[in-house]
Amino acid sequence: MSASEIKTIEIEVLRYRPEQDTEPFWQSFQVPFSHDTSVLEGLQSIKDDLDATLSYRWSCRMAVCGSCGMMISGKPKLACSTFLRDFYPNKVQVGPLEHFPIERDLVVSAEGFISKLEKITPYIVPKEPRTIEQGEYIQTPLQLKQFLQYSGCINCMLCYAACPQFGMNPKFIGPGLMALVHRYNVDSRDGAREQRMELVDEEDVGVWSCTAVGYCSEVCPKKVDPANAVNQNKVNSALNYFGRFLKPQGGQK
């Protein structure tokens, strides 16, 4: 199809309005689209022209903010970087992210995710405090490379919708935040590794809930590769497990 040609596609949206619906249901819309119309723009044209009550999260529309994660025809994707042309002439199904409670329509509750985020010390705790006069913390390119990839996470939670283990056990810290734990743990400036490792080592919470399915890394829109971070921390956690017997008494918790 030429870039400007307008066609019509069926978009099925999972609706849930807690004040009037007892359970979620699929609602179908006929939506005009062209070659460059994203699923997000499809939802926007539903809201503008067909049904103003439709609720969904979005902000940047360029895969930077991580707001518009949804299940698009069964796969966790960002609505802004998924295009309707790839589904035509079939319909496209749009639902809220799996494994999260639905708040309204396509909006899920991120509360569980945020409370975990607060627990993992998601910031650098300086290993050695420096005064302003001492200047900045210097890092070599190699030290930067250790964590750069894992700092690309935009908290879109697609990996959580992809993770069957998180689906079965909501206590699991999960792929995205485990990548963030790793991002700070391997930063040469950071000194809080030990307190983060307590979570990594913990039963049902830490890294051992992972069964190496790997779908988290496949759906990551920023190529963070959380599965890799999780795997590296299985090694770290195993070293902790046996290493504590080698530590001086009183050194363990």
Q: Which of 20, 22, 44 is nearest to 33 (CA)?
A: 44
**Distance between CA atoms of residues 110 and 157, nearest Å:** 9
Q: Which of 49, 7, 50 is nearest to 27 (CA)?
A: 50
Residue 188, number of CB atoms within 10 A of its CB: 15
Taking CB under 8 A as the criterion, the residue among 98, 105, 187, 201 binding another protein is 201
Closest distance of CB 224 from another protein, Å: 22
Strands 92-95 and 7-15, sheet pairing: parallel
**Distance between CA atoms of residues 125 and 184, nearest Å:** 9
Taking CB under 8 A as the criterion, the residue among 81, 213, 222, 232 binding another protein is 213
Q: What is the DSSP letter of 131?
A: -
Taking CB under 8 A as the criterion, the residue among 115, 136, 203, 246 binding another protein is 203
Closest distance of CB 108 from another protein, Å: 22
Taking CB under 8 A as the criterion, the residue among 83, 87, 160, 208 binding another protein is 208
Q: Which stretch binds another protein (CB under 8 A): 10-18, 85-93, 121-129, 209-217?
A: 209-217
Tokens of 13: 């949206």
Taking CB under 8 A as the criterion, the residue among 47, 202, 218, 222 binding another protein is 202
CB 172 within 8 A of CB 119: no
Residues 229-248 within binding reach of another protein (CB under 8 A): 234-235, 237-238, 241-242
Of the pair 146, 237, the CB lying nearest another protein is at: 237
Of the pair 60, 235, the CB lying nearest another protein is at: 235
Strands 75-78 and 69-72, sheet pairing: antiparallel
Element (H, E) at 219: helix 215-219
**Secondary structure of residue 197 in the 3-state scheme:** helix
**Secondary structure of residue 61 in the 3-state scheme:** coil
Closest distance of CB 199 from another protein, Å: 8
Closest distance of CB 34 from another protein, Å: 41
Q: Evaluate the omega torsion of the peptide bond into residue 89 and state whether it is cis, within 30 degrees of 0.
A: yes
Taking CB under 8 A as the criterion, the residue among 52, 138, 212, 246 binding another protein is 212
Residues 105-164 within binding reach of another protein (CB under 8 A): 164
State the number of binding residues for another protein (CB under 8 A). 20
**Secondary structure of residue 86 in the 3-state scheme:** helix
Closest distance of CB 187 from another protein, Å: 23
Site residues for another protein per CB under 8 A: 164-165, 168, 198, 201-204, 206, 208, 211-213, 234-235, 237-238, 241-242, 253
